Amino acid sequence: IVFQEDIQAQELYVFKENDEILGFICINEKFEPEFYKQVIFNKNYDDKAFYLHRLAVKQKAKGKGVAQKLLNFCENFALENHKASLRADTHSKNFPMNSLFKKLDFNFCGNFNIPNYQDPFLAYEKILNQKAF
């Protein structure tokens, strides 16, 4: 149901190669405020941020740069839509995703817990090129 809502809202983007979907991501202005209470995002950009959700890459395409291409797309999309920040989170034990956020200059902003998950989630923010505004 969540993916159907993403598609209907035109917020789900896919990475295709040879007509095969290898990855996807949702980008929008929606977030869960109760989860982010302990997270310190840059307050100057609260109304100028896009949030990234549900990034996934097909198993056979992992390690081939698909996630990085999706995140680069999101950065360009945000700039085109006059956003100043990208915000995202991932499970603390999702080591590849945490590593990619750091590689792409996302700043760690804090962690938070979600009910029924033993380990915390880590939140990140990337401040985008201000020359675009």
Model confidence at 3: pLDDT above 90: no
Tens digit of pLDDT for each residue in 70-113?
999 999 999 999 999 999 999 999 999 999 999 999 999 999 99
| Structural fold of domain 27-53+60-132 | Aminopeptidase (3.40.630)
Residue the block writes with tokens 């109760």: 34
Distances (CA, A) of 11 to 21, 74, 117: 16, 11, 26
Domain positions in the chain are 27-53+60-132
Report helix, strand and coil shares of the chain as percent, to nearest 5: 35, 35, 30
- Residue 131: its pLDDT value, please? 57
Confidence of residue 129 (pLDDT cuts 50, 70, 90): confident
Tens digit of pLDDT for each residue in 20-79?
999 999 999 998 878 888 899 998 888 999 999 999 999 999 999 999 999 999 999 999
